[in-house]
Structure 1
Amino acid sequence: MNVFSLIGTVILVVLMLLPLRKKEHRTKTEIRKAIVRFAVVLGGITVIMVLGMGYFLALLVGVLVLILIDKKTYTKKRLLIYGSIILILGIGGYTVFRDNPTYVMNHLKKNPLTTSLYVTQNGEEVISYQSDIVRPLASTVKILIATEYAMQIGEGQLDKESMVTLDELKRYYFAGTDGGMHEAWLDSITSEGKIKNNAVTLQDVTKGMIVYSSNANTDYMIDLLGVDAINERAMTLGLTWHEEVYPIVGVSLIPSHIKTDGMNDKQLVQALKELPKDTYRSLAEELSAQLKAGTLDFEGAGADLSMDVQQVLSDRFIGATANDYGKLMAAISNDQLPPAATEVLRDLLEWPMEFNEGNKDRFTHLGMKGGNTVFVLTQALYAETLEGDKTEIVLLTDDLSDWQMGLLMRNLNSFVSKMIGDEDFRLTVQQNLTEK
Structure 2
Amino acid sequence: MTEQALRERIGSIEAELGVTATMHAIDVDTGEEFGVAADDLVVPASIFKVPVLTELCCRFADGSIDPAQGMFIAREAFRTPGDTGLSVFLDDVTLSVFLDDVTLSVRDLAVSMMSVSDNRATDILIDLLGLDAINERSRRLGLEQTVLVEDCAGLFRTMVEDAGVDVDDPAWQHPDDSLRERLAGMRVLDASATNRTTPREVTASLALLWDEGGVLAPAATAEARRILSLQVWPHRLKAGFPDSRIRISGKTGTLPYLRNEAGMIEYPDGGRYAVAVFVRETLEEPRNIDADRSIGLIGRAVVDELRSRV
Assess same fold via TM > 0.5.
yes
| Partner of residue 97, structure 2 | none
Query: What TM-score does the superposition give when structure 1 sets the normalisation length?
Result: 0.54
CA RMSD of aligned residues (A): 3.8
Higher relative contact order (CA 8 A, sep 6+): 2
Structure 1 or 2: more strand by fraction: 2
User: What is the 5 A alignment of 1:149-188?
Assistant: 149-167=56-74, 170-174=76-80, 177-183=81-87
Does structure 2 conserve the Cα–Cα contact (< 8 Å) formed by 1:144 and 1:234? Answer: yes
User: What is the 5 A alignment of 1:333-344?
Assistant: 333-335=210-212, 336=214, 337-344=216-223
User: For the structure 1 residues 129 and 349, does the alpha-carbon distance in structure 2 shift closer, same or farther, using more than 3 Å as the test?
Assistant: same
CA drift at 1:362: 1.9
Q: Which moved more, 1:156-165 or 1:132-141?
A: 156-165
Residue identity over aligned pairs, in percent, reads 20
Instruction: Work out which of the residue numbers 136, 150, 158 in structure 1 matches 2:43.
Output: 136
| Partner of residue 106, structure 1 | 12
Indicate the SS of the match to 2:32.
Answer: strand
Instruction: Work out which of the residue numbers 145, 152, 165 in structure 2 matches 1:241.
Output: 145
Indicate the SS of the match to 2:22.
Answer: strand
Larger radius of gyration, structure 1 or 2?
1
CA drift at 1:242: 1.6
User: Which residue identity lines up with residue 371 of structure 1 in the other structure?
Assistant: G
5+ long unaligned stretches in structure 1: 1-101, 191-196, 259-267, 273-299, 431-436
Does structure 1 conserve the Cα–Cα contact (< 8 Å) formed by 2:20 and 2:281? Answer: yes
Whole-Å separation in 2 of the counterparts to 1:103 and 1:407: 16
Whole-Å separation in 2 of the counterparts to 1:411 and 1:208: 26
CA drift at 1:353: 8.9
| Partner of residue 3, structure 2 | none
Indicate the SS of the match to 1:171.
Answer: coil
Q: Is the aligned partner of 1:225 residue 2:102?
A: no
User: What is the 5 A alignment of 1:8-407?
Assistant: 106-108=12-14, 115-121=21-27, 122-167=29-74, 170-174=76-80, 177-183=81-87, 198-254=102-158, 301-304=166-169, 306-311=179-184, 312-316=186-190, 317-335=194-212, 336=214, 337-352=216-231, 362-363=245-246, 366-402=248-284, 405-407=288-290
Whole-Å separation in 2 of the counterparts to 1:139 and 1:255: 15
Whole-Å separation in 2 of the counterparts to 1:123 and 1:393: 14
Query: What TM-score does the superposition give when structure 2 sets the normalisation length?
Result: 0.74
CA drift at 1:391: 0.8
5+ long unaligned stretches in structure 2: 1-7, 95-100, 173-178
Structure 1 or 2: more helix by fraction: 1
Whole-Å separation in 2 of the counterparts to 1:319 and 1:199: 32
Indicate the SS of the match to 2:139.
Answer: helix
Which ranges of 4 or more aligned residues in structure 1 deviate by more than 6 Å?
A: 353-356
Q: How many residues align?
A: 274
CA drift at 1:214: 1.5
CA drift at 1:366: 3.1
User: Which residue identity lines up with residue 222 of structure 1 in the other structure?
Assistant: I
